Structure 1
C-alpha cells in the first residue's frame, strides 16, 4: 500500500529519509502514485526501487529491465537513487546479463546506484562467478524470521560479488503487526537494562542478522514508525548474535 501524504510528512519529522518501492507494487502503479502523493516532498527522500516483475511474469531480459528503469524515471519525475534486480533467484542463468544492464543504466544516468534484491540468494551462488560488474548494494532478508542457511548465503553472495554495501528487508517477515512479535522477546540480544520494546529489540537483532547498514520495512502507522525510528539507536550484542548463529547452524546440520 502506498504511503499517504501525512505519513510521508511524519516520516521526515521522525528522521526517516529513504523510501523503498518496486515497479510491480500497487498493481504496477507505485511510482505514479508515489509521485502524485509526495509531490515536492519526493526530492527530500532517497528512493530505491526494483525491476524484474512485469504483468506477463518475472524476467531478467535486459531490454525489459532497461525499459522499466526508463519508465520508472519518467513516472517518478526524477532519477531513482538505487535500482535493484528484483528476486533474480527466479532466473540464475540470467543474472550476469541483467547485472550488466543495470550497470549500463547507472552509466547512462538512469539511476545513481544499482544492486540486487533477493529473498533467498542461495540459488544465485553458482551464478555469482559469471557476474563481471560489481553491484553497489545487495538487499537481503534480515532478522529473526530468516533461516540460518539463508543468512549464510547472503553473506557469501555479498562477498562473491564484491558488493559495496548490504541492506536488509522484511525484518518481521512482512508483518510487524502480527501478534507473534509481541511474544518474541528479542531483548535478550541487547545489553541488560536497555529500555527497548520487543519490536525495537527485534529491529536491533535484524541489523546484525546478517550485518546490514539499513533496513527496509513497511508500516502505515505513525506510532509504529516512531517506535522503529527510535529503535535504530539500539545495537545487538555481538556475542549473543554469534551464539544465535551457531544455534541456527547446529539446527541445520541435524
Structure 2
C-alpha cells in the first residue's frame, strides 16, 4: 500500500473536541473525524455542531450506533432513531455510519446490518459498515449479511494474533474492500512500553522517526488499513501521527512478525497448564 493511500482520522472517543483542535487538524491535512452516538455522554454530535458548525463541511465524518443510555443493543427501531438523530444533531449527513461493537450483541447482527443498509439507501449516510473490537463472536454466529462498505478494527502492535486472523476472515466473508484501523497504542501512547519497544524495526531503513511515528506506520500494516483513527487533544501529537503515516513499512518484517505471533500462539496453546502433572 502506498503512503499516499493512507490517512489519519481524528478519533473523538477520549478527546473532547475543541475548535482549536479541529482547526489544527485541518491545518495538518487531517480531514477525517471519527465519533459515535454515545460519545461525550450522548452529546458528541451536538457538541461538534455547536463549536464548529462552519468547519464540519470540510471533514469526512464517520459515526457509530449501537450504545444507548441503558447499554448496548441492536434493536432495529432504536438503530433507525439513532441514525436519524445523528444526522439531525450534526446538521449534516454523516459520510459513514458504523455498527458499534456488534460483537456485544451478535444475535442481532444480521438484522442490524440490514437496517444500516436501509438507512444508507434512504440518504441518512453515504456509506455504512462495522466497527468491531473483536470480530470473533461475529464469525462464530451463523449469519449472512449485506456487503458492508467498510470495517473499522483494532490495528497495531498491541493486537493479539487471534484478532488479527479474525479480521482477515471477516474481510473475506463479508466482502469488505475498505478496512480502517483504530487504537494503534491501545489508548495510551504515553505508556512507557513505547519507549522500550523498537518500533523502527518495522520501517525500511534510513528513515528518521519518533517511536510514536514508527508505531503509527506499523499500525497501517498490522492489519493493512487505509485509515487510522488517532485520539489526541494536542495538535502537535496529531501532526506527529500524520508524519508517521508517510513512513515506508518493511513488508517482509510485518510478514515475519505475524508468523512469529502465530507460532507463539500455537506453542502457548499446546503448553500444559500448571495444574497438569
In structure 1, the residue matched to 2:9 is none
In 1, Cα distance between the equivalents of 2:258 and 2:55? 41
**Deviation of 1:222 (Å):** 1.3
TM-score under structure 2 length normalisation = 0.89
In structure 2, the residue matched to 1:183 is 196
Unaligned 5+ segments in structure 1 are none
In structure 2, the residue matched to 1:174 is 187
In structure 2, the residue matched to 1:244 is 257
The superposition leaves residues 111-141 of structure 1 with CA deviations (integer Å, 9 ceiling, x where unpaired) of 00000000000111133x6223100001100
Structure 1 segment 29-40 matched on structure 2, within 5 A: 29-40=43-54
In 2, Cα distance between the equivalents of 1:65 and 1:230? 37
In structure 1, the residue matched to 2:72 is 58
In structure 2, the residue matched to 1:207 is 220
Contact 2:230 2:238 in 1 (8 A): no
Unaligned 5+ segments in structure 2 are 1-14, 268-277
Contact 1:102 1:114 in 2 (8 A): yes
In structure 1, the residue matched to 2:143 is 130
Contact 1:2 1:34 in 2 (8 A): no
Greater relative CO, 1 or 2 (CA 8 Å, sep 6+)? 2
In structure 1, the residue matched to 2:86 is 72
Q: Does 1:193 align with 2:206?
A: yes
TM-score under structure 1 length normalisation = 0.97
Pairwise CA RMSD of aligned residues? 1.0
Q: Does 1:26 align with 2:72?
A: no
In 2, Cα distance between the equivalents of 1:131 and 1:24? 27
In structure 2, the residue matched to 1:114 is 128
